[in-house]
Amino acid sequence: MELTPELAETFGLKPTEGVIITGVLQGAPAAKAGIVPGDIIVSIAGKPVRNVSELLTQVSSIKPGNSEKFGIIRKEAPLELSVAAGTRPRPKAQAR
């Protein structure tokens, strides 16, 4: 979720700094690394994350099995977590 100016101000950030996490899939790489709803991802591998598009682009560039450091703001405190990339599951065939 994009940070609105109001949310950014609450966390002491600029509106163009970070993406707030609203949900994490159980068992997903983010969950395994300890990312929780309410975290704000501000960087990946030292590169700033300013919006959802940048987050998706940077995450998709991590090769499966490799890890990257995610800069996070949690409860107004900076935190760094190492996230190991997984493979995206294939969609199940639709019943006919």
* Confidence (pLDDT) at 6: 72
CA-based end-to-end distance of the chain = 35
When comparing pLDDT for 10 and 58, which is higher? Answer: 58
Work out the number of other CB atoms within 10 angstroms of the CB of residue 96.
Answer: 3
Q: Which of 17, 5, 2 is nearest to 73 (CA)?
A: 17
Give 73's DSSP letter: E
pLDDT at 41 over 90: yes
Per-residue pLDDT reduced to its tens digit, 65-83: 899 999 999 988 999 999 9
pTM, full prediction:
0.78
